[in-house]
Amino acid sequence: MSEHVSVTDHGPVRVIRMDRPEKKNALTGAMYEPMREALLSADADGSGIGAVLFAGGTGVFTAGNDLADFVAMAGRPFSESPPLRFIRQLARTRTPMVAAVDGIAVGIGTTLTLHCDLVYASPTARFRMPFVELGLVPEAASSYLLPRRVGTLRATEMLMLSEACDADTAVGLGLANAVIPADMLEEHAMAQAARLAALPRGALAATRRLIRGDQAEVEAALEAEAVAFDAQLRSAEAQDAFRAFFARGAARPKTDAAA
> What would the DSSP string read from start to end of 185-210?
HHHHHHHHHHHHHHS-HHHHHHHHHH
Structure pTM?
0.93
* Direct distance between the N- and C-terminal alpha carbons of the chain, in angstroms, rounded to an integer: 23
Residues sharing a CB contact under 8 Å with residue 165, sequence separation 6 or more, in sequence order? 126, 127, 128, 158, 173, 175
**Mean pLDDT, to the nearest integer, of 218-223?**
97
Cα–Cα distance, 99 to 70 (Å, whole number): 24
pLDDT digits over 144-160, tens only?
Answer: 999 999 999 999 999 99
**Mean pLDDT, to the nearest integer, of 101-123?**
98
Q: Does residue 210 carry a pLDDT above 50? A: yes
Q: Does residue 74 carry a pLDDT above 70? A: no
Q: Does residue 22 carry a pLDDT above 70? A: yes
Give phi and psi for 217, each to the nearest 5. -70, -40
pLDDT at 256: 43
Q: How sure is the predictor about 259, in pLDDT bands with cuts at 50, 70 and 90?
A: low
Q: How sure is the predictor about 257, in pLDDT bands with cuts at 50, 70 and 90?
A: low
Residue whose C-alpha is closest to residue 159's, from 167, 168, 148, 237: 148
Q: Does residue 8 carry a pLDDT above 50? A: yes
**Mean pLDDT, to the nearest integer, of 35-42?**
98
Q: Does residue 254 carry a pLDDT above 50? A: no
Q: Does residue 75 carry a pLDDT above 70? A: no
pLDDT at 111: 98
Q: Does residue 252 carry a pLDDT above 70? A: no
**Mean pLDDT, to the nearest integer, of 32-45?**
97
pLDDT digits over 155-181, tens only?
Answer: 999 999 999 999 999 999 999 999 999
Instruction: Please give the distance of CA 163 from its chain centroid, rounded to a whole number.
Output: 17
Average pLDDT, the chain: 93
Q: Mean pLDDT check: name the lowest of 98-107, 112-121, 241-250.
A: 241-250
Q: Which ranges of 114-181 does DSSP label H, i.e. alpha helix?
A: 142-150, 152-160, 167-173
**Mean pLDDT, to the nearest integer, of 139-144?**
98
pLDDT at 255: 44
